[in-house]
Structure 1
Amino acid sequence: MHLRRPHRPRRTALALLAGVLAVTGTVGVGTAVAAPSLPLDGLDEAAASELVPAVTTAAGGALAGIWFEPSSASGPDSTGRLMVGTWDAALAPALSALGATPVVRDEPRRDPSAALRTLTERTATGMPASLAAFGVDERSQQLVVSEVEGAPSSPVAELLGGLDPSAVRIEKVPSAPRLQASIGGGDTITDGSKRCTAGFSATDGSAGWLITAGHCTRGSSTWYAGADQETIGSGARSAGGSTDVGAIPVTGDWTLTPTVSGTTVTGSRSAAVGTSVCLYGSTSGRSCGAVDRKDVTVNFDGQQQSGLTAVATCAKEGDSGGPYITSDGQAQGVHTGAGGTNGCTSYFTPISTALSTLGLSLKTG
């Protein structure tokens, strides 16, 4: 989010654009067979994401994963197919008619959602240091459990006891994820000690609010921006529990603009797994990658955070709160933290969760 300063001495039309003004703040996988269908390689990512609600309804209880499969290198302009897994071959024609490519799974049926619910309950009061994250892989229809390399494996094995082994897959990761507010100065939004990244512009119906990460706003009231460290607002609100979102009230001297790095925010349609989104962080700048998993539970310093989305983007300290957005202006969520190799597995809280938890509406243009 960037600042526009048209006149001095009064700041009557400064633009606070969410996203660029940054704060420094195993088990084997069974086979799946694509059913015969019409050639559907020409869907762009936006069109594929628009199909998701319809194919979800059509597949019903036989749904076994939805993901985008690019026909070439992935990216905001890639085209490909929306793959829809189903346990019922009879549904293939209906899914094809909607524009999707059905994938009939011929292995024994399993329920990764049940494994996800059980593991979420078992880790609700704390997560062992060896357990980095877990979430369902749409493509394999397995609960993927990320275990830190070199850490004792017995705590994770104990947590997985009794779960259907065909529904679970363990993967090794080099390190645990980290929250990414940072301590120090910077020409970004700050509370005087933490740097984070401004997310999206929102409103409560009468006043403007700036959405960012909850671990940034907790314990902080007044926030500043710009080279002159001018006050954005005081009385920041933070979500309760483990939901990592917060919002800063914006004073009348600022004008919230519904843009992210020049892209107008037009809505909040959720991007399908496999499609591209871009993070705009105060430290990393623009970093784009494909959505990997949704409804992921992550271990941040022993605290469980659930309902996050995992993305193949790189992030650094100070990117917390930064916005994720698609190339066609669909807001996705705000950055919480990152892990994996070189911090290139990132996690965000979906914008729908942020808005409902904070009681706000997204500003769109």
Structure 2
Amino acid sequence: MSTRPLLARSATAVATAVAVVGLLSPASATATTVEGYSADVQRDAVASLVAESGLSESAAVQLLRTQATSVETLHRVTAGLGTRAVDGYLDAAAKPVVNVLDQAAADQVSAAGAHARLVKHSGAALASAQSALQALPAVAHTSIGLDPKTNQVVLTVADAARGTDALLTAASALGDRVRVERVAGEMHTAIYNGEAITGGGTRCSVGFNTNRGGVNYIVDAGHCTRAVSTWNVGPSQGSSFPGNDYGLIRNNTGSAPGAVTLWNGSTQRISSAGTATVGQRISKSGSTTHLTSGSVTRTNVTVNYAEGSVSQLIQTNALVNPGDSGGCLFAGSVGLGITSGKGTGTSFFQPVGEALGAYGVSLN
């Protein structure tokens, strides 16, 4: 593959595979637009919503429009409440829901334009439960993350996990703060041999094109840059994996657009970095699965890969396939994450903001 098509994928993306059924008609595509979304990303996101939820195309467009404002409201309200808020999420209509511990906080949430939900467990109680589980010896093919919709920590155990007795005993002792889910298959990082950015017989997807001091860099998955010292686009300059899953590649090609390839000759501009929110509709683009759409299902997830544990990941309900590692998770023009790995019916992403800050780079 030539260099230019590679780097047109700048924010190339994550890898997931929610099935897309139906298309946004040309009439509705031109009649209403979602700010920050390219026509092709909007078309794919709307088609996915129509297929999954049965919404009309116009209702799906309105939901995407509502989402951007709701995310801003949710983050503003939860920040203002401090420990009186226990996280939050977007509901099925993309409206902000804030979990709170008392009626006074609930009244404050309502006055700020969000829906308040009284819950049992405080943020400290959930954090304590998650920390207790994470303090045990890591068990490969398990994950531990927060589910604000149920006000619980979720311990997910894949079929491939072995030696889980101590973990399950600890989860049981924590009562209803923890829910155990069992899934088929395994959890693993998503590297594969093949094309896209290549080096040492390994294939990953290009991540976010960035710069520092006039020099172009690609922010990618740490498990990719740890495995390969020199790519066909330039040398690896850093890796944080496990623990985190981000890395840096110097881009020596002379081409570093700040946009995601949509695999049909068009692109989606990425103009800022943001924080993922449970319930948020997302898109991703990868060298294996190309452009697909889905939603965020959990945040602050620790995934125990065979290669080591990675914490504070974003989980979505879209599938990642081999070769998509390193690409980006995004919502319209907002970059959210870097593809880390996959489970059965789940995909995991390193938050991009942490990587940008670690390397002192800015989005192109």
SS where residue 322 of structure 2 aligns?
A: coil
> Which residue is 1:19 aligned to?
11
| Distance in 1, Cα, partners of 2:14 & 2:229 | 17
2:300 matched to 1:295?
yes
Q: Secondary structure at the match of 1:112?
A: helix
Query: Which residue number in structure 1 is paired with residue 67 of structure 2?
Result: 45
In structure 1, stretches of 5+ residues that fail to align are 6-13, 24-40, 72-79, 225-231
Count of residues in correspondence between the two structures? 310
Q: Deviations over 1:80-99 (max 9, x none)?
A: 31111111111223212222
Runs of 4+ in 1 over 6 A off after TM superposition: none
CA distance in 1, matches of 2:149, 2:172: 24
1:204 — aligned with what? 212
Q: Tell me the secondary structure at the aligned position of residue 51 of structure 1.
A: helix
8 Å CA contact 2:133, 2:170 repeated in 1: yes
For residue 120 of structure 1, what is the aligned residue in structure 2? Answer: 134
Are 1:337 and 2:350 an aligned pair?
no
Q: How does 1:32-71 map to 2 (within 5 A)?
A: 44-71=66-93
Per-residue deviation, 1:104: 2.0
Match in the other structure for 2:238: 237
Code of the residue aligned with 2:319 in structure 1: it is: C
- Give 1:115 shift: 0.8
> CA distance change for structure 1 residues 206 and 361 in 2, over 3 Å: closer, same or farther?
same
1:167 counterpart residue number = 177
Tell whether 2:353 aligns with 1:352.
yes
Q: How big is the shift at 1:309? A: 0.7
The TM-score with structure 2 as length reference comes to 0.78
Separation (CA, whole Å) in 1 of partners of 2:99 and 2:13? 40
Q: Do residues 318 (structure 1) and 323 (structure 2) align?
A: yes
Task: Quote how far apart the aligned CAs of 1:314 are.
Answer: 1.3
Distance change >3 Å, CA 259–CA 238, structure 1 → 2: same
Higher share in helix: 2
Q: Which residue is 2:258 aligned to?
A: 258
Asked if residue 216 in structure 1 is aligned to residue 220 in structure 2, the reply is no
Contact 2:192 2:323 (8 Å CA) reproduced:
yes
Identity across matched positions, percent? 27
Query: What residue identity is the alignment partner of 2:76?
Result: A
Unaligned stretches of 5+ in structure 2? 16-61, 262-266
* 1:286 counterpart residue number: 291
Question: Does the C-alpha gap of structure 1 residues 255 and 115 become closer, same or farther in structure 2, counting only changes over 3 Å?
Answer: same
| Correspondence list, 1:178-193, <5 A | 178-183=188-193, 185-186=194-195, 188-193=196-201
Aligned-partner Cα distance in 2 for 1:199–1:148? 28
SS of the aligned residue for 2:324 comes to coil
TM-fit CA distance, 1:219: 3.9
Aligned to 1:90: 104
Larger radius of gyration: 1
- Corresponding residue number in structure 2 for 1:132: 142
Distance 2:180 2:109 in 1: 31
TM-score (norm 1): 0.78
Query: Residues 2 and 265 from structure 1, CA distance in 2 versus in 1: closer, same or farther, beyond 3 angstroms?
Result: farther
Secondary structure, counterpart of 1:353 in structure 2: helix
What amino acid is the match of 2:254?
A: W
Q: Residue 285 and residue 94 in structure 1: after superposition, are their counterparts in 2 closer, same or farther (change >3 A)?
A: same
Q: C-alpha root-mean-square deviation of aligned residues, in Å?
A: 2.6
SS of the residue corresponding to residue 352 of structure 1 reads helix
1:267 CA displacement: 0.7
In the alignment, structure 1 residue 102 sits paired with structure 2 residue 104: no
User: 2-side partners of 1:293 and 1:346: how far apart?
Assistant: 10
